[in-house]
Structure 1
Amino acid sequence: MEQSVKDILADDFWIMPATPEYIDKGVPYITSKNIKNGTIDFSKVNYISQEDYEYISKNRPILVGDILISMIGTLGETAEVKETDGLFYGQNMFLVRIDESKVNKRYFLNFFKSNCVKRALKGKQNQSTQKYLKANHIEDLIIPVPDVTKQELIAKQLDKLTYIITLRTNELKQLDDLIKARFVEMFG
């Protein structure tokens, strides 16, 4: 069975407040570029005041478990909001809340990593001075929806494969570093 992404969501909205005034320290304020490899990268962010955070987030808060999708610049990257992310807000992202009675969250996140979704989003992107997606580009995507038990099994298998790939990538990097160190050791 297939459904549109819109049909499997409990809620969604475009996070695009007017850019608040930045300050030296405060509440982290992220953009699409901070969503990388399934996580939110807080290493290079701007900051806003607690008052600005409360004002812009009161009607559309970002909650633990929400999924953020990058919509401007870097397109279609996803990250699930974790408890450890703490308080933050941002812009240029689409927020979705999955109806988990219909779709397993890990299954959904793996679906977004697939090449078919990346190609579909690339084909839908608008271009002006910068690439961007519209909300309906995400909502109109068609997702295969087997029963939830099968989704959980698929998600577990894909998560294991991702973990193995990460391990192997790290091993290759360490071996590459070892080769470089040996080369320097041998030849100065």
Structure 2
Amino acid sequence: MGFAFQKNKYRDKGLPILRVTDIHNNKINSEKLVYFDPSDYPNNIEFALINIGDIFVSWIGTIGKVGWNQTNSSIYLKHGLFALIPNEELLNKRYLFHWLINNQEKINSTLVGVGAIPYLDINKFKKLIISLPSLSEQNSKDIR
């Protein structure tokens, strides 16, 4: 899960923060990233850190945006995003990424909320059933 970074503590340099608005066409647009100084947040916020190659999904705001960290560095998720770290002995990251992109209606089925403030119910999201071919099939280019 992302962390609730405070806008008034954004910096022009430091450690990068990924916001939902920085996701375009399932990729990170690093041109408009904001940064933070770790000394502004003395408590451990490593839970919000994603690594190169990690997949993330937005759960509030623009719901169901899916992305893949294809930058050359780790990045911190702002509140409204969560990471998906699959067991790669069972599920190939690239297969999961493409499954998420191609199954937006299933993601949308996990939305809840009252009135104009829907959000993705992460417990429902965790229960989504993913059609899982063998790992060798997941690794083949023609299945993606």
Out of 100, 104, 110, the residue aligned to residue 92 of structure 2 is 104
Query: For the aligned residues, what is the CA RMSD?
Result: 2.4
Q: Secondary structure at the match of 2:31?
A: coil
Structure 2: 5+ residue stretches without partners = none
Report the CA distance between 1:72 and its aligned residue. 1.3
| TM-score of the superposed pair, with normalisation by structure 1 | 0.63
**Higher gyration radius (CA):** 1
Structure 1: 5+ residue stretches without partners = 1-13, 160-188
Return the alpha-carbon distance in structure 2 between the equivalents of residues 60 and 46 of structure 1. Answer: 15
Q: How many residues align?
A: 140
Report the CA distance between 1:53 and its aligned residue. 6.1
Q: Secondary structure at the match of 2:130?
A: strand
Name the residue aligned to 1:121. Answer: 107
Report the CA distance between 1:54 and its aligned residue. 7.0
Matched, 1:69 2:69: no
| TM-score of the superposed pair, with normalisation by structure 2 | 0.79
Return the alpha-carbon distance in structure 2 between the equivalents of residues 138 and 125 of structure 1. Answer: 9
Identity among equivalent pairs (%): 24
Matched, 1:45 2:30: no
Out of 25, 31, 52, the residue aligned to residue 12 of structure 2 is 25
- Contact 2:26-2:67 within 8 A present in 1 as well: yes
Matched, 1:147 2:143: no
Return the alpha-carbon distance in structure 2 between the equivalents of residues 55 and 158 of structure 1. Answer: 43
Report the CA distance between 1:120 and its aligned residue. 1.9
Out of 131, 139, 154, the residue aligned to residue 118 of structure 2 is 131
**One-letter code of the match for 1:92?**
G
- Contact 1:69-1:79 within 8 A present in 2 as well: yes
- CA deviations on 1:125-183 (whole Å, 9 max, x unpaired) are 12444332122132111001111111122xx1255xxxxxxxxxxxxxxxxxxxxxxxx
Return the alpha-carbon distance in structure 2 between the equivalents of residues 91 and 65 of structure 1. Answer: 20
Alignment CA distance shift 1:53-1:82 (3 Å): farther
Runs of 4+ deviating beyond 6 Å = none
Return the alpha-carbon distance in structure 1 between the equivalents of residues 110 and 71 of structure 2. Answer: 33
Return the alpha-carbon distance in structure 2 between the equivalents of residues 93 and 138 of structure 1. Answer: 13
- Contact 2:49-2:75 within 8 A present in 1 as well: no
- Contact 1:28-1:42 within 8 A present in 2 as well: no
Name the residue aligned to 2:45. Answer: 57
